[in-house]
Structure 1
């Protein structure tokens, strides 16, 4: 009896601790949250990769492998100091050549307010219910509203159910499905993720994180065979790029058959889509230099692949690109076994493919911080940056603008749609900017590199603007050198011209900043020289916001010496048009 009373007492002691946690089910968010999935309307409430109607159409192995959650992710915001993930899977926890953390584990990354990614290590337990626990999560430097998170799901297992736990007094908000066009990857076990140590180290997922585009992983272990039945489903996705990486599953086919399969696959996609197609050769075997049989098989399949590409080029099929084994250049220690890459090999393949894709999609990286695109979340108490991006994409798709003005909070809080609670110059916007057909592409606290990300992610795509006005750079003050700011603007202007080749582009000089008027004056001289050298138009309306002594005219600002008020906007609007 005493033992029973003691057990009951201990249970009561632990009840309050259990009650302090709340659990969030992604399937109950009220909107689609499974990223990188495809077929969302049909399978958005599951952790699978092909819809039910594929059963019986694709081969049985492909169907079974499509139940695995390879490449899928959940994005959310949270201010929690501790996060737990618990879930169950459908199959075995590991394989002889791949650990539980890769086969069945999850991976969590945080993204801070400056867009920097951080790997979150969590203690884990692989039982009937798998758990990951992330402790002692710090604070963001700008605010107390936590971080953006990306949770990557198991590579070689199905997920039955999953919940994310946070302390009772914390907040978690799921991020809706990205509206951006994805990259679609069709491949083998290597594409699916064998033999990564953890989900985010699959080469396909490394690529997804580097490019920050949705990437639908249709890698099927042992079954990436360029099957027309699988390509039929791939063709249902309007992608920005299609990657075919199936050669590692075709060495046992006749050379002529491999060539025919590759040509047919490209033509099948081209029947419905004009987006670029990237063909990738077999990356090789770890023992190809010591096993002559393996070397012959490798050379045969890649010879067939090259013949296919040459025939495609001869036939004039546009937008088809190619990566060779030599370009992939997997290092000697880049394999776990004869063919599956280690994390080192996966990183190498991802790096090479990324470089090729950046050439294909015209999304280069520069050498300065101002030329490397990143997101930001510096003032979520004012607005959510990603939510505004989603709204902007919808706005320009449904209402193609005649003109756009790109900028930071000075632009964002001027007026127009999507609306913000701050409208520092609403009257001028309504009288001047709206009649001129301007769409507001300003985001509070943006820097040059944040605008570059937005340009790379669709805000200038799909329409021809008669005019683009660029008013960015003031938030790089004090963080970047004058040269980095000027070169960042040059790089950004090139990206804008690539997407709006026929439009008039005007660059607005940096507006006055309290106590930094001389710096503004000097850098605007450099900006003007660069802009005119590159063949763009420059205007410097900020001089109208200065007093005769060259100091900021405080009566034309809202009180911070940076953001114009209604009278300030009235003075500069004419030169901005």
Structure 2
């Protein structure tokens, strides 16, 4: 007769193993287990704390989106406009929608500059899904702030995600078409200027990881985005 204690120990071990695997699977981000907006709660609360200590003036220019916005030294590149930086790294357009009532609408910005969509495609979203998320973001903004201009920076062609470039360009084409149908929306093509003579992304525009921008990359972006801000009323 087998020892009941040994059987119970074996079953307990198997159950623990199953639970451990389940937890690990849920902890890994991906198509089936995406990271939700709750991941950014700490970042959003930090923004809100900043706002309590030094409330930004209403009617300004807001930059929002993923790490390409978060890492941008906006005060250096746009010292004349006092930009508000509300970029949170790794985020998707859907996250900006989710937190719009906390880090977009309260500022009543006259212009919003958005860079997002890069992580969306990397996470497995289709061009149509990313485009619809952009449309939803504009609807959320314009429902409360109908005169606010939204400047969308095209998804960049990067060294690290070069294999996704065709999909990203499909998103860009869809969003550009939408912007052409609404005078409050503007599209900034940063794709073409970031491509070298060899048809691939210019290495000097990127940090060592081949994804985020170098100082040269931000200089280029600044030169391309600034005309859209000068035109802002």
Q: State which of 410, 417, 423 in structure 1 corresponds to 2:68.
A: 410
The CA deviation at 1:525 is: 1.6
Report the Cα distance in structure 1 between the residues aligned to 2:113 and 2:86, rounded to whole angstroms: 10
Q: State which of 133, 138, 148 in structure 1 corresponds to 2:23.
A: 138
The answer as to 2:165 corresponding to 1:517 is yes
Aligned residue number for residue 477 of structure 1: 121
Aligned residue number for residue 389 of structure 1: 44
The CA deviation at 1:376 is: 4.7
Report the Cα distance in structure 2 between the residues aligned to 1:548 and 1:520, rounded to whole angstroms: 20
Report the Cα distance in structure 2 between the residues aligned to 1:437 and 1:542, rounded to whole angstroms: 26
Higher helix fraction (1 or 2): 2
Aligned residue number for residue 105 of structure 2: 461
Gaps of 5+ in 1: 1-134, 143-373, 378-384, 416-428
Q: What whole-Å deviation, never above 9, does each CA across 1:253-293 have from its counterpart, x for those lacking one?
A: xxxxxxxxxxxxxxxxxxxxxxxxxxxxxxxxxxxxxxxxx
Aligned residue number for residue 554 of structure 1: 203
The CA deviation at 1:453 is: 0.8
Q: What whole-Å deviation, never above 9, does each CA across 1:465-505 have from its counterpart, x for those lacking one?
A: 22111111111114111111111111111112223333222
- Relative distance call for 1:537 and 1:396 in structure 2 (3 A) is farther
**Rg (Cα) greater in structure:** 1
Q: Secondary structure at the match of 2:108?
A: coil
Higher strand fraction (1 or 2): 1
Report the Cα distance in structure 2 between the residues aligned to 1:502 and 1:569, rounded to whole angstroms: 28
Q: Secondary structure at the match of 1:505?
A: strand
| Contact 2:67-2:87 at 8 Å conserved across structures | yes
Q: Secondary structure at the match of 2:107?
A: coil
TM-score w.r.t. the length of structure 2 is: 0.74
Q: Secondary structure at the match of 2:43?
A: helix
| Contact 2:154-2:190 at 8 Å conserved across structures | yes
Q: Secondary structure at the match of 1:394?
A: helix
Q: What whole-Å deviation, never above 9, does each CA across 1:122-162 have from its counterpart, x for those lacking one?
A: xxxxxxxxxxxxx75723115xxxxxxxxxxxxxxxxxxxx
| Contact 2:190-2:224 at 8 Å conserved across structures | yes
Q: Secondary structure at the match of 1:462?
A: helix
- Relative distance call for 1:462 and 1:517 in structure 2 (3 A) is closer
| Contact 2:64-2:87 at 8 Å conserved across structures | yes
User: What is the root-mean-square deviation of aligned Cα atoms in Å?
Assistant: 2.4
Report the Cα distance in structure 2 between the residues aligned to 1:453 and 1:493, rounded to whole angstroms: 13
Report the Cα distance in structure 2 between the residues aligned to 1:396 and 1:576, rounded to whole angstroms: 25
- Relative distance call for 1:500 and 1:575 in structure 2 (3 A) is farther
| Contact 1:376-1:450 at 8 Å conserved across structures | no
- Relative distance call for 1:517 and 1:463 in structure 2 (3 A) is closer
Q: What whole-Å deviation, never above 9, does each CA across 1:16-37 have from its counterpart, x for those lacking one?
A: xxxxxxxxxxxxxxxxxxxxxx
TM-score w.r.t. the length of structure 1 is: 0.31
Report the number of matched residues: 193
Report the Cα distance in structure 1 between the residues aligned to 2:105 and 2:167, rounded to whole angstroms: 34
Report the Cα distance in structure 1 between the residues aligned to 2:84 and 2:206, rounded to whole angstroms: 23
Report the Cα distance in structure 2 between the residues aligned to 1:435 and 1:556, rounded to whole angstroms: 24
